[in-house]
Structure 1
Amino acid sequence: MNVRDIKIFAGIRQFTDWWAGELRILVPRAMENWIGGGPAQVILRMGEKQTHLLLREDGEERELGECDLLDGGSDNFEQLRELIAQQLPKDAMVQIELPAHRVLTREAFLPIATEHTLNQVIGFEMDRLTPFTAAEVGYTCRMLERMSEQNKIRIELNIVRRDYLNDLLAGAVQLGLAVNAVYVGQQNGCVYESRDNLLPGDMRPEVEPLWSNRNRSLLAVLLLLIGLTVVFPIYRQVSSIEQLETEIASVSKDAGVVGNKKRLLIAHLEGREILVNKKNNRSAKLENIRKLTELLPDNTWVSKLTIDDETISMQGESLKSSDLIEMLEQEKLFKNVEFVSPVTINRSSNMERYEIRLQLAENDGGAN
């Protein structure tokens, strides 16, 4: 890759970064954090005398410097303020971590009925459980044990004086930071829950409401894009169907003529096949009659002869009808030769009347 190509790719990368930044402004913070895995976190970790400033991004934590958060006149304080203004993300979440000795922690017992309304109950019972009122402190509480037999719950209560929180927030504001949460903890990478936030609600920065004007506009644009995504393919499909119907209508007349000719041709072929079959059947019947004529003796008469596809039936008179069965069975064309009715004597001609039925062997073999 030569220098020219490198410059071209660098320009493309610069443009895409700028374009992504412009689009990022339109995305709500909650959605951006959900897609990107969470915002950066600025941590003010309180020590004995100094406050350590740390930045946590993508699961990694690095220290940026330290200062006395309660003393805004130090040189380190000014340097950190410039560093924060230049390098830290504007949408970073800011939290303060307090050492345990800065927080009053105590355990208490409450009726089990207060399990689901702990925060409200603690607010009413603060002056009984601690030397302070609820208006003088920031606090969190959580249930440690559920004692069903005693109908009680054991809770842990963490308390920080509000005037101390005010001093911490004022120092953070001088650094150019708006604090979102105050927690108790000193462990690297510790993940806190929202219920552990000691900062009272009236001291937290305002959060953009979910149904703000900007979010409503974004939702309208999103719905419009979804509507276009759904409607446009349907419109194209309908247009394609209409075009196909027009083309089909233009050739339907010719197709009808071709169809009529095809039907006439099929009817002609079927009629021809019927005639051929009739001719073949007539030739077979004539052959059977010829064979019977050769087999029957001169003293035998046939008065009625019926031939179909499988059997031959004949009626007549003979001097000795019993010989006819044996005579016909010797012929390979016939089988199952039998009398249909008993043989009778015609007294006027002194001959035997017979009615014989036989099957055609060729049809049977063809069926098998």
Structure 2
Amino acid sequence: MTLADALNPVLARLRSRFAQTPLPRFWRWWTGELLSFLPLRWREVLTVEDACVVLQADGENFAVSAERGGLRRPLMLLAAGEREEWAQLLERGLDDSRRGQRRVLMLPASRLLRRTLSLPAAALENLDAVLGFELDRQTPFKADQVYFDSRILRQDPGAKQVQVELLVVPKPVLDTELNQLGSIAAGLSAVDVVDTHGSRLGVNLLPPSARASMPRAHPIIQSSLFAVSVLLVLFGMGQVTENRLGAVASMQAEVEVQRENARVVVALRKQLEDAAAAANFLAVQKQTQASMLQLLSEITRTLPDDTFLERLSVSDNQVSITGFSAQATRLVGFLQESPLLRDAALNGSIQPDPRVARDRVTITVNYGPPAEVKP
């Protein structure tokens, strides 16, 4: 694995985070305004253009064109009958300025499978791995059966979703095209796709291991560009960090306000519950306590006429009856027949009283419906 391949995931994450800031849009505006003040010739020199040599199949032949700034100019045609000499013909047909340019093989869009996906913005940090997992769901192929690449269709700064187009070509299709090129395939830097207007989509379906390495730029220019890139990345990351810190501080302040509001609500709710409990106390007591008039009426109805009471006490729903009766042994049975009295039982022994010619008895009984049995 080359150093560039090792740095690609890191650079992809940095590009993703940088693209989610307002800096790219500001940079394009600012550089465009600066270049507008320069003469036309200077602008042409300073403008970076993707110059490359394009190869596109034309039946069994291959058309070779030079592309610069989106404009394509035909150069030559590699005829199928001269396949063994294609490498020499291509070298002779290119001048010195084009021999060092990237060579791109164009595939028609009809040979590919294209899908538009809506992904979280965080997926751009490791887009190839995410799309590798999506292949089984979005295509009938597995990751080891195809070559694939992607391009970002829409990415708004600060948006949580991005529109990504997945382009997939089966390995046999691309391998056949590469085999037709013969030795020229070893010099390819990319395999791109031509759209319906004849323009390149800007993807690269060629595996990294098969891509031809480009000649290194001048060390001073390369070092300068790298230093500027690092400064811009650091500035962008600092801006993102500052924005995040500001957002966190704002959220903390809002959380504190909501927390204070919650405390006030809890206090008011406690006051309301206490007031409601105090207001309902008497009503609850009235509902839970037995009615004395109904109790006296029920005891009067239940006990026989030869019985009179000496003492009647009520504690909660428990009633204690002390009196004299000529049928003392049957009083418990009489009380148990009442639908409002339950659990009647003698409290102590029955004592004869010769003064009144009756037996003195004490009975305890519960008044009211039976308590609900809890599960």
Structure of larger gyration radius: 1
TM-score of the aligned structures, taking structure 2 as reference length: 0.40
TM-score of the aligned structures, taking structure 1 as reference length: 0.40
